[in-house]
Chains A and B, each alone.
Chain A
Amino acid sequence: MSFEPKIVAFLCNWCAYAGADMAGTSRLKYPANVVPIRVMCSGRIDAEFIIDAFEKGADGVFIGGCHPGDCHYVSGNYRARRRVEMVKKLLSQMGVNEKRLRIEWVSATEGKKFATVIEEFVDEIKKLGPSPWRK
């Protein structure tokens, strides 16, 4: 059986989650490997959530937030961007490929973009194989 990765996607309520919703209502297809978790803002995503998701068996973690400048809470998405950058550094020091963590900006109207980036990400993780935590 081919490897089907498990991907945890933290999506912000105002943009990325609405974008995912838009993908759904527009009947766009994207891989079913994603488990979406809605948070109020991408700035709410503590680095601990990311590490926790990996420790509990995620092969990849996706974070979706509002475009820079569009955050509903002004600057939450910048915080998310900085945290992701820092967690990537930590991951590579831990021996994990930093490509397993990805952040993208998806607005409420960008259903198409959501489907595309998820498809890309799932493909990438399939190439990387199961997370080293799972071995």
Chain B
Amino acid sequence: MIKIAMYWGAGCGGCDVSLLGLHEKILDLLNEAEIVFWPCAMDFKYEDLEKMEDKSIDVAFYNGGIRTEENEEIAKLLRKKAKILVAYGSCATEGCVIGLANLYDKKDIFETVYLKNETTKNDEKIVPKEETDDLKLPEFLPYLKTLEQVVEVDASIPGCPPPMPVLEDALNALLQGKTKFGKEVALCDECPRKDTKPDKIEISRFYRWHEKEDNGDCFLAQNMICMGPATRAGCGGECISANIPCTGCMGPVPKVRNQGTSMLSAIASLIGEEIDEETEKEIINSIEDFAGTFYKFSTAKLLPEGRLKDES
């Protein structure tokens, strides 16, 4: 029996659910594997994990980013106990949406979440403390870190959460001890709207996807930013099938390091050639949030130490 473990770090919980999303296939998985640690689904305590022998877990999955002292501690512990440590999902791999918090510091985050948020009613201005007289909570770290930024990682399963075909492929490989899996092409290659992509795309202004009626063609041809060209294939275009452009949760194609800049370069090349400098600036300025558009899932990789501080 192969021993597997799953831990939920700083994340939404969607990754844990995605493993259950295997439906009946999880029973096949359980024929081959024994779950030795999965706090979200079964009753395990951290001390059970501490008591295990080093390298006794065959495959450990870590989902979610590293935002608290506790996350960091378990990441290190799992690294010690596991033969293969897998970053499961976008948060663990690249930081995901919660990685966008690296554009702000700890103080900003606490103020926004507990005091300034429009939908928050907190007249007494109660902000969580790390310590009381008899209780100490794990520290909220200054920045969100990916698993790889804390410990050595053997394999990554991309996606937010990993789509079913990607997960099945990854599990098949991992249970055989293989750490290389997944497709090496961009999403456009398997896009359901592939045939509607014209030979030449010329963008004259950008639309966000709620600003324009979708005519069923390639989103880039409709002047909507779709991260497909810079995003790894594997999901089968789930979002596209639901009439929503790709936002890039699968991360970059394996041989590309920086998904955001490659998409940004591609988008810049699609702005119509005849357009003059001034109009060009207007078109570019119509993209409001560059980090959120091109680095929605990888800001933590771009800014591991948070927002940079240029003196002047």
| B222 shortest CB reach to chain A, Å | 20
Task: Report yes or no: A132 in contact with B309, Cβ–Cβ below 8 A.
Answer: yes
Chain B residues packing against A (C-beta within 8 Å): 103, 257-258, 260-262, 264-265, 267-269, 271, 273, 277, 280-281, 284-285, 287, 289-291, 294, 302-303, 307-312
Q: Do A95 and B307 touch across chains, with their CB atoms under 8 A apart?
A: yes
| Residues in chain A near residue B271, CB distance under 8 A | 82
Q: Taking each of A68, A78, A87, A131, which has the highest tally of chain B beta carbons within 10 Å of its own beta carbon?
A: A78
In the docked arrangement, what's the CA distance between A133 and B308, Å? 7
Complex Cα distance, B292 from A80, in Å, reads 22
Binding site for B on A (CB under 8 A): 43, 46-48, 50-52, 68, 75, 78-79, 81-83, 85-87, 89-90, 93-97, 100, 127-129, 131-133, 135
Contacting pair B284 A89 (CB below 8 A): yes
Residues of B within 8 A of A90 (CB): 260, 264, 290-291, 294
Least CB distance from A110 to B in Å reads: 20
Q: A47-B261, A48-B258 are in contact. Are A86 and B312 (CB under 8 A)?
A: no
> What is the minimal beta-carbon distance from B283 to any residue of chain A, in angstroms?
9
**Selected A-B contacts with CB under 8 Å, 22 pairs:** A43-B269, A47-B265, A48-B261, A51-B258, A51-B261, A68-B277, A78-B273, A82-B280, A82-B284, A83-B264, A86-B267, A86-B290, A87-B261, A89-B285, A90-B290, A90-B291, A93-B103, A93-B291, A95-B309, A96-B310, A132-B309, A133-B308
A-B residue pair count with CB separations less than 8 angstroms = 88
Closest-CB distance, B231 to chain A (whole angstroms): 15
* A48-B257, A83-B264, A128-B311 given; A75·B291 CB < 8 A: no
With A and B bound together, what is the CA distance between A82 and B277 in angstroms? 9
Q: Complex formed: what's the CA distance from A121 to B174 in Å?
A: 52
Most buried by A among B257, B271, B285: B271
Measured between alpha carbons, how far is A23 from B57 in the docked complex, in Å? Answer: 64
Contact of A95 among B257, B260, B269, B310 (CB under 8 A): B310
* Distance of A51 Cα from B258 Cα, bound (Å): 9
- Nearest-neighbour CB distance to chain A for B284, whole angstroms, equals 5
